[in-house]
Amino acid sequence: MAAMREVVFVDGVRTPFGRAGEKGMYWGTRSDDLAIKALQGLLERNPGLPHERIDDVGIAATTQQGDQGLTLGRTVAILAGLPMTVPGFALDRMCAGAMTVASLMGAAIGSGQYDLAIAGGVEHMGNHPLGIGADANPRFVSEKLVSPDALNMGITAERLHDRFPALTKERADRFGMLSQHKVQAAYDRGDIQPDLVPVAFRKPDGWGLATEDEGRRPETTMEGLANLKTPFRPHGRVTAGTSSPLTDGATMSILAGADTAAELGLSAKMRLVGFAFAGVEPEVMGLGPVPSTEKALKRAGLTIDDIGLFELNEAFAVQVLSFTDHFGIADDDPRVNPWGGAIAFGHPLAASGVRLMIQLARQFAQRPDVRYGLTAMCVGLGQGGSMIWENPHFDGKKGK
């Protein structure tokens, strides 16, 4: 059997993320138009990419109906201007949709079946709330396979507090506050803006232009968080300040064989080391990234100490803390989400996996002392996804 081919992350962009709902900036914008805009921005930023050489376009969405239906990878590719010869598909693994697409594309490239592929995701949670129109098989509940409230992500987060008493509300509040502060600091440094594709949107009084993430709250304080309601349980510990907000947005990325990227003069911002997905009890779905990360590390012959940067999706603060506690990582470890996370940026479900990759790639360029990074996230219905990446800018003289 031939050796696996080296796979690289060439580039990634995203739309600014908007707050879901009538007051959000994308309320009057179609979901597929967000994906089209992101893909067009990605193609414009990579003029050396021969469009006819793209082997596939995969776009994930959790709620595949209406303007998020009709095989998004194919329709968005055509509407973005790609040749009719380029195929496409849609995929659903809830929050890890785009991560799964990137994993599958990476595997196809690594095995020599593809040379170039587009991996992305989109979610318009304002127009397509999680679970709307779904018809869960009643045997899930009647045969006690899954708790009736396992699809309520906030309740699953409360259960993590129950299971691990050391994960206190105060720790979660502090993590949520610091996420907001770190995101604003990254904006102030100009670290976020280069990878955002501006999007025109309609509003009641005319047109606007989205250039920044809408849900940020840099003024967040511990005092303010302490007084927030706990909507998922009376006297609970999970609040809006320690949860990712409902969000609209799209992400897109290019993956390629390292040889193809070199042939075409494309960048290689990250090298794919490996990936893994794992299942856990749906009632504590936030634990999912623990076994998926352990599996990915074992396959790669690495340990958690080899990871110099972590991009962990902040579905809930307690969920990230359950991961870091398991691996013996401090709450304020500078390797973890150095530019903040989904509590401030927002979490448009299937799109978020590629956002993690976009940020890690830009951090790699600034950190030649770091060799390996991890993108990981929990997934609804009790799953976790993890991808390990290597920094092509790594300088062994500056780091391990």
Considering the candidates 124, 128, 161, 378, report the single residue annotated as catalytic: 378
Considering the candidates 124, 128, 161, 347, report the single residue annotated as catalytic: 347
Considering the candidates 51, 95, 161, 326, report the single residue annotated as catalytic: 95
Considering only CA atoms, which of 94, 105, 59 is closest in space to residue 80? 59
Burial grade of 155 (CB within 10 A; 0-12, 13-18, 19 or more) = middle
95 is catalytic: yes
378 is catalytic: yes
DSSP label of 75: H
Contacts of 165 (CB under 8 A, 6+ apart): none
CA angle, 113 as apex, 64 and 2 as ends, to 5°?
A: 140
* Distance from C-alpha of 205 to C-alpha of 91, rounded to nearest angstrom: 36
Contacts of 190 (CB under 8 A, 6+ apart): none
- Tally the residues of the chain: 400
The answer to whether residues 248 and 348 touch, using CB atoms and an 8 Å cutoff, is: yes
3-class SS at 93?
strand
The answer to whether residues 311 and 375 touch, using CB atoms and an 8 Å cutoff, is: yes
235 is catalytic: no
Radius of gyration of the chain (CA): 20
Considering only CA atoms, which of 60, 54, 110 is closest in space to residue 87? 54
The catalytic residues are 95, 347, 378
